[in-house]
Structure 1
Amino acid sequence: MTSNAFRKWLGAGTALALTALFAAAPASAQVSDDQVKIGVLTDMSGQWSDMNGPGSLVAAQMAAEDFGGKVLGKPIVIVGADHQQKADVGVGIARRWLENEQVDAISDVTNSAIALAVQQLTKDANRVALFSSPGTTDLTGKQCSPTGFQWVYDNYSNTVAPVNALVKQGKKSWYFVTADFAFGTSLEKIGMDQVKADGGTVAGSTRNPFNSADMSPYLLPAQASKAQAIFLANAGKDLTTAIKQANEFGIVAGGQALVAPVMFISDVHALGLQTAQGTSFVEGFYWDQNDETRAFAQRFFERRKAMPTALQAGVYSSITHYLKAIQAAGTDEAKAVSAKMRELPVNDFFAKNGKVREDGRMVHDMLLVEVKKPSESKRPWDYYKVLATIPGDEAFLPLSKSECSLVKK
């Protein structure tokens, strides 16, 4: 029966009475399915599982618990799944969650290709996407969504500052070793554009398949190029393998600088300070910044026996902000919640005076860090020297350059 036929069958008076009843319902009745369900879609078992994975699920659970376990009087439910770094698996899980399992928001979503698909699925289903892990700027660019948010970093924020710094130090020629999928190619394009904008040159590039056990076929041409800087457009185990082998091949000792724009504390821990020392990159969060970050990190460490990465801290922050927006909106309807997310400032241990722009980008200060020498580290996980704080408005792509259709120009 169509809605019009249904209304005629009820009669005008009954329909009006029902409308009045729903309008007068308390805010708690505006929560769909009597719960707020958040799915953490991540790499639980693959090469990126240390930087998000089970730790992202723990961070999500902590966010729900710290919020009191309920929002608008209804329970907060956290579920998790492993997309196995396979687009078909990730899309299948997301579709099942949205269509059959009443998931209201999807969080984390390691892997840019999967994230872009999830962005479209959540947009079509009028649900919220909270991206902490993917780096592609398309999520807040040409494929932006009114209900999609990018929280921790992106390829622009983590590329521009290190490239600028090294070119100023005289590193004019660059070679790119790039992961051959959406994340890597996006990172490479931004890096190459910035090198050229700064007056540098690109000596060449190679593309490595995802999860390469041996990075020598891609590093040796970079070494042979004599480029002054080698840009590793990789992450996770591909990145740590590349850094280990670069040291074995004498690339760093030979005077070529390694640039690892998307590196996390889990990577440093895996490499050890002896190998990782001196590497500079941009971070969205460091556990040892202040009393607030240390308090969260200690609670996280008690569960995971590892300090949180920026991605895991971002899962906590984005979910907490989402829940605050539901509370403020009086409903979990995605567009109403998304409007509140853009309206409310982000103030927590992760970000101070953060703001969510119309394109879905959460703008916050970023950190330019350098890995300490073993002799400089005073205790476990004491890995970074903070070289500079990059204001959020400088760290992220200006709205004036945005390709997002939601941005008014």
Structure 2
Amino acid sequence: MSSMYFTEEHEAFRASFKEFLKKEVIPHIDKWEKEGSIERFIWKKFGEMGYFGLNTPEEFGGLNLDLFYTVIFLEELQKVNSGGFAAAMWAHEYLAMTHLAKEGDDFIKNKYLVPSVEGDMIGCMCITEPFGGSDVAGMRSTAIKQGDTYILNGSKTFITNGVYSDYLIVAAKTDPSDKYKGISIFVVDRASKGLTATKLDKLGWKASDTGEIAFDNVEIPAENLLGEEGKGFPYIMQHFALERLVMGVNAHARAEFALEYALNYMQERVAFGKSLDKFQVLRHKIAVMASRVDMCKEYNYSITKRLNDGQYVVKEASMSKLLSTKMADEVIYDALQMLGGYGYMEDYPMARLSRDSRLGPIGGGTSEILKEIIAKIVIDKKEYKPAT
């Protein structure tokens, strides 16, 4: 572990969190993967341990820790070998709760953020639409103000925690005539009349309840507006940097887990009179895989440092997600190959890892859209600026 970024306190937290996951989470993973849902008790246990408040201000129940605690949180979650469980946890804390903490007023924070930190409420983030994908500005959902309420109509899809969450952070057009300045963000209660959710069946992330949400004349109190009306698009873009870094860290962590598992297997598996790790062709493959993991990991740590220091890292975070998720897919593919036929068996972790990892280059902005964002920055000299 790099002492340049991690202190003794960080490592003590890692050891404690690892033990917590081993005791409280891993025994239930196979059940949650099979049932496609995560039992509520574990959310409360995460809350009681402070894991949902790592970088939330102390006045709202958080610990206000630096982002390297978040990195540890993400890395260790990947090692329980359930991308769906990990996604449910980090989507709650780093998608839904981020908007509550950054754009919510004290009323919103006390009503939604505090119980989210405590594990009593679960949140989800609703941006992607059936016809929109990565085109955030092209969303069709509308929230038209009528008196002291907004009337929400439209639909969202591929929403992590979209079925079982207690509240939804929803982006919608408050001014349909303006593509970029017409988007606003709201907190919507799950029990709102006219809100329905349908669970989606996925290739991987089986434990996660990914949903498609429909809004039919849903009334939102005006007090549930997050931040200022019309600033939803820059709010979303600003927080995409964190989301993409999260997915980059997830990628290097699951690739490292796959590499370590494959290496342990190779040291024990004997063929033609010697263990697999003594065959040069496999040794060299491992060398390349380890190098790629380490390069992405160190880059992601450096971005974390810059983001923690308050820098706007939209370019770097986009690069991280683009390259780290591609690396993870390829390293896990090679790791599965190292196990031979056992890699294809559900009793071994590689089959699930391979399925779960495939979402990396898709969710949170596809690799194709990230390439265009990076090209605009590098070639066209476009500057992305934080919301003011």
Both proteins in one fold, TM over 0.5? no
Higher radius of gyration, 1 or 2: 1
Bigger relative contact order (CA 8 A; separation at least 6)? 1
Q: TM-score, normalised by structure 1?
A: 0.30
Give the structure-2-normalised TM-score: 0.31
Q: Which is helix-richer, 1 or 2?
A: 2
